[in-house]
Structure 1
Amino acid sequence: MSTVLFELPYCPPAAFFAQLLTADRLLLERHEHYHKQTYRNRCLVLTAQGVQPLTVPVVDGNRSEKVSIDALEIDYRQNWVHRHWRTLQTAYGNSSFFEYYADYFHDIFVSKPDRLFELNLALLQLLLRCLRLPLAVEFTGEWRPSYPPGIVLDRRDWLSPKSLPDTASGAGLRQPYRQCFGAGFVPGLSVLDLLFAVGPAAGQLLLPAPLTGGEPYAPSAGLSI
């Protein structure tokens, strides 16, 4: 059984999900320390002003890199839920499928999970259902810095907002799709951009990636989607 290992991101790009097409399991890293300026607490969306990052603020951000990812609390003193939702409405309110999915995502945002890991997991479970990717989701039982060649494909920190793909195929997509703004296609955005544009067909546009590398892993706990 093939497994791909990722950190748990916030509304990740399509390339994240493209990696899952050839896997049977998604293994999520639960024993790392938080990393700043990554997809763990940010995503990229396309607005009329161009690509815009949406960042979830965390409590005590200056010391956050010393905190375990599953214990990191979200900072609700900042009104980020309102800002993120207004940005999504402005960017995608006129897209073909925003209203079809909006209530599901809005319910997660306004539920205000205490921890970043809880928020990201709830959003990921919803996205997997929307993309019709019914693979098992499991968690690491301990921190391991690396995985020798084998069954597990270690994709931790493989995706970064600082190194965006240049093409649709580089972003894990079979072909460009019609976006809400701009004449040219912008790769590397959150999968929300794809989902709101093409709806239930979103999963069919993902480009499968070969699953190689890593080693067999027996997770200690998990859940099924």
Structure 2
Amino acid sequence: MSVLLHPGYFLNIANFVAIANNNVCWEVNDNYQKQTFRNRSYISADVGKHMLNIPIKHVGKDKGKQKYKDVRVENDYAWQRQHWRTLETAYRTSAFFEFYEDEIAPFYEKKHNFLLDLNLETTALICDCLQIDMPQEKTTTFEKEPKDYIDGRFLISSKNKIDFKQENYFQVFNDRNGFIENCSILDLLFNEGTNALTYLQNHNIAFKNA
């Protein structure tokens, strides 16, 4: 049975543990919700846990709830340049930043109209780096309680506490901040490189309806 996941911005390690160890179906028919990893990601920086946030175009309350697939990225603000500079500052000295730089950097030179498309592209990019297949299955309707999937959609919330025990790996600012758990997959990739997939495969996530 496939795991149902929300696409997110360079998803965190918990989500990629699910991707690396399961067949995945993408939830693309839900309403957009704030304070989730749909438009934010966390990295380990010199100041500690640091958020990268994608600005979006908000619609008026009179228009009701907005579908995730209809959410547009606010490109009047040069967030791409800021995010890439932040990643360079945080990971330039990491073991594998230069190894993946030429694959990741072009993403930040493009403009994307829709957040969902942007997020699916980040996941495809990471899957390519990990040398695994990008999941292609997508939902056709929204189900609050899916019967044919294991529900992993809770992993998109930045508020939820999840049952996920993570082994430490080396992070650039370990000596300053200690180990920061469940960062963006970029943190694992830049620090562990070709060992990242094995790391993901050696972890597991507890799903409520598995």
| Structure 1 length-normalised TM | 0.82
C-alpha deviations, 1:20-40, integer Å up to 9, x for none? 3332x2111111111111000
Secondary structure at 1:170's aligned position in 2? Answer: coil
Separation (CA, whole Å) in 1 of partners of 2:53 and 2:207: 32
Task: Report what 1:219 is aligned to.
Answer: none
Separation (CA, whole Å) in 2 of partners of 1:38 and 1:212: 18
1:83, distance to aligned residue in structure 2 (A): 0.9
1:118, distance to aligned residue in structure 2 (A): 1.2
Aligned residue type for 2:77:
Q
Separation (CA, whole Å) in 2 of partners of 1:65 and 1:124: 29
Which shows bigger deviation, 51-60 or 96-105?
96-105
Task: Report what 2:172 is aligned to.
Answer: 180
Secondary structure at 2:106's aligned position in 1? Answer: helix
1:132, distance to aligned residue in structure 2 (A): 2.8
Q: Cα distance 1:186–1:142, how it changes in 2: closer, same or farther (>3 A)?
A: same
Q: Cα distance 1:107–1:139, how it changes in 2: closer, same or farther (>3 A)?
A: same
1:5, distance to aligned residue in structure 2 (A): 0.3
Separation (CA, whole Å) in 1 of partners of 2:2 and 2:164: 21
Q: Cα distance 1:67–1:94, how it changes in 2: closer, same or farther (>3 A)?
A: same
Query: Is 2:36 the counterpart of 1:42?
Result: no
Task: Report what 1:200 is aligned to.
Answer: 194
Task: Report what 1:143 is aligned to.
Answer: 142
Task: Report what 2:157 is aligned to.
Answer: 160
Q: Is the CA contact 1:34–1:65 (under 8 Å) kept in the aligned structure 2?
A: no
Q: Is the CA contact 1:33–1:65 (under 8 Å) kept in the aligned structure 2?
A: no
Q: Is the CA contact 1:22–1:210 (under 8 Å) kept in the aligned structure 2?
A: no
Q: Is the CA contact 1:147–1:214 (under 8 Å) kept in the aligned structure 2?
A: no
C-alpha deviations, 1:50-82, integer Å up to 9, x for none? 111101010126659822111211001111111
Structure number with higher helix proportion: 2
Task: Report what 1:26 is aligned to.
Answer: 24
Q: Cα distance 1:12–1:164, how it changes in 2: closer, same or farther (>3 A)?
A: farther
Separation (CA, whole Å) in 2 of partners of 1:141 and 1:76: 29
Q: Is the CA contact 1:164–1:188 (under 8 Å) kept in the aligned structure 2?
A: no
- Number of aligned residue pairs: give it: 206
Secondary structure at 2:155's aligned position in 1? Answer: coil
Q: Is the CA contact 2:4–2:24 (under 8 Å) kept in the aligned structure 1?
A: yes
Task: Trace 1:50-89 onto structure 2 (pairs within 5 A).
Answer: 50-60=48-58, 63=61, 66-89=65-88
Q: Cα distance 1:213–1:135, how it changes in 2: closer, same or farther (>3 A)?
A: farther
Q: Is the CA contact 2:56–2:71 (under 8 Å) kept in the aligned structure 1?
A: yes
Q: Cα distance 1:144–1:205, how it changes in 2: closer, same or farther (>3 A)?
A: same
Separation (CA, whole Å) in 1 of partners of 2:43 and 2:29: 28
Question: What do you get for the CA RMSD once the two structures are aligned?
Answer: 2.4
Identity %: 29
| Structure 2 length-normalised TM | 0.88
Runs of 5+ unmatched residues, structure 1: 216-225
Runs of 5+ unmatched residues, structure 2: none
Q: Is the CA contact 1:10–1:120 (under 8 Å) kept in the aligned structure 2?
A: yes
Secondary structure at 1:157's aligned position in 2? Answer: helix
Secondary structure at 1:185's aligned position in 2? Answer: coil
Secondary structure at 2:112's aligned position in 1? Answer: coil
